[in-house]
Amino acid sequence: MELDQEIARALSLSASQDVPRLRDIPLDVARSEYDSSASLLDPDPPVVESIADIEVPGAAGMLGARLITPTDADASSGLVIWFHGGGWAQGGLTSHEPALRRLAAASGQRFLAVDYRLAPEHPFPAGLDDAEAVLSWCLSDASGLGSSPGSVAVGGDSAGATLALVAAFECARDGFRPAFQVLCYPSLGPDLKTDSLHDFAEGYGLTGDDMSYLYGLYLPKGQSHADPRVSPLLTPDLHEAPPAIIAVAGFDPLRDEGLALAGLLEGSGVEVDLFDESSLNHGFIRMGGVAAARSAIERLGSAVSARFAASRPG
C-alpha cells in the first residue's frame, strides 16, 4: 500500500522547508504550534450539539476537561473519556477538539477530553495518575456527566492511548471496568526496537528521534523501563483488560507496537477490533482535512457505536 497522496504532498512540503527537529524547538513554542496545528489539520470539523468546559478530579487537584456532545446524542449515549496525544509533553483541550468533535459526530457518543498534567514539569507517573483518577471517578459515579458507569469507555491517541490502556487495566483490577477502550497508535515502551520504528524513523511526521526526546522528557532519570506502566507490553497478565478497539497506521514508527498489543490482548482472551489504516501515518485522527483520514475516523466512530450497543444489557 502507498502513503495517501494528500499526506505525501504535505510531508514533502514540510521536508522542503527544512523544519527543525522537535528537540531543537523551545518546548513552549512546540506546544503552541501543536495546539495551533489543530485548525490547520482539520479546518472544518463537524458541528456538534454542545461543547462544555468543566472540571474533573485528578490525582493532585482538579483538572480542566471538555465535554463534547454530538447533535444526535440521546439519553442512552455512551461517554468516552479521552486522553490526548502529544508525547506526554504537548497537547491539551485545544489540540484535539476538532478530532473529538469528528469522533463524537461519527459515533453518536459523547467524548470527554481531559487536560492531564504534562512532562517535564510533571514527569511520570503524574499524567498516568491523573488518568487513573479521572477514569475511576467517572466509572464510580458518572451520573454527574449524564451517563451510567456501565456506559463509560476510555480512549486515547499515541501517548494518550498508553495512559488509557494502563488506566483501564488498573481500574479493571480494582473492580471499576470500562465498557471498552479505544487505542489509536499507542506508544508502548522506550526500549522497543521494531521494524516499523526502523522503516519509518524519518520522513513520515513522527520520527524516531522525536520519540527518544519525548520519552526523555516524560521519564525521570533512573526510572525503570521494565515497569509495565511505562512499557505495557511487559504486563504479566492482560486477561482483565476490557475489550479494545485498536487503530494502527501503515506509515508509523509505532505501527508494530500497536499490532503487538492487539496480539497480546487476543492471546489473553480479550476481544479486539483491529483497524489497520495502511495508507495513513501517525496522528491521523487529527487530520480531518484529509479525505482518507476522515474515512478512518468514520470507521472508528462506527466501531465505538457498535461497542457501546454490544455492552448494553438486552
Three-class secondary structure of residue 232 per DSSP: helix
Q: In this structure, are residues 78 and 159 in contact, taking their beta carbons and an 8 Å threshold?
A: no
Strand 62-69, strand 50-57: pairing: antiparallel
Write down all domains in the chain, each with its CATH number in brackets: 5-311 (3.40.50.1820)
The catalytic site residues sit at 158, 252, 282
Can you give the pLDDT at residue 137? 92
Helices and strands in the chain, H and E counts: 9, 8
What one-character-per-residue DSSP string does 60-97 give?
SSEEEEEEEE-TT--TT--EEEEE--STTTS--HHHHH
Distances (CA, A) of 206 to 107, 150, 233: 27, 36, 21
Q: What one-character DSSP code corresponds to residue 201?
A: S
pLDDT in tens, 159-208: 999 999 999 999 998 888 999 999 999 999 999 999 999 999 999 999 99
Strand partners, 245: 182, 273
Can you give the pLDDT at residue 278? 98
pLDDT in tens, 32-52: 999 999 999 999 999 999 999
- pTM, two decimal places: 0.97
d(CA 103, CA 304): 9
d(CA 223, CA 12): 37
Asked if pLDDT for residue 314 goes beyond 70, the answer is no
Which residues lie closer than 8 Å to 231 by C-beta, 6 or more apart? 188, 189, 190, 191, 192, 225
d(CA 126, CA 160): 13
